[in-house]
């Protein structure tokens, strides 16, 4: 039976492969960017919780790291949206 790190590793590989396929399968740039950044946020959170062992940290730290990942992704998507609209 695979442990949590093995499952996370498999999920990260799957998300990396999906990241490669998205630009070819999604013709709309904003939707594609949103999907890519969603994958990045999921990967970042999985890495933070499982590999950095924040899953065992207090809820405040988990919340702060998750909020930081979300803010970075939202700022990146907004920058992408501005560039697409110009």
The whole-number pLDDT of residue 69 equals 96
Using CA atoms, how far apart are residues 45 and 43, in angstroms rounded to an integer?
5
Across the chain, where does the E strand assignment appear?
none
Model-level pTM? Answer: 0.86
Put residue 53 in one of left, alpha, beta given phi > 0 → left and psi -120 to 50 → alpha: left
Q: Kindly give the interhelix angle for 29-46 and 4-25, rounded to the nearest 10 degrees.
A: 170
Give the per-residue pLDDT at 29.
Answer: 83
**Average confidence score pLDDT of the chain:** 92
């Amino acid at each position: 039976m695979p442990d949590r790190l093995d499952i996370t590793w498999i999920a990260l590989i799957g998300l990396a492969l999906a990241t490669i396929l998205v630009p070819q399968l999604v013709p709309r740039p904003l939707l594609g960017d949103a999907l890519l950044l969603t994958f990045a946020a999921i990967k970042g959170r999985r890495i933070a919780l499982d590999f950095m062992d924040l899953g065992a940290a207090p809820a405040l730290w988990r919340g702060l790291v998750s909020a930081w990942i979300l803010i970075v992704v939202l700022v990146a998507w907004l920058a992408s949206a501005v560039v697409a609209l110009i």
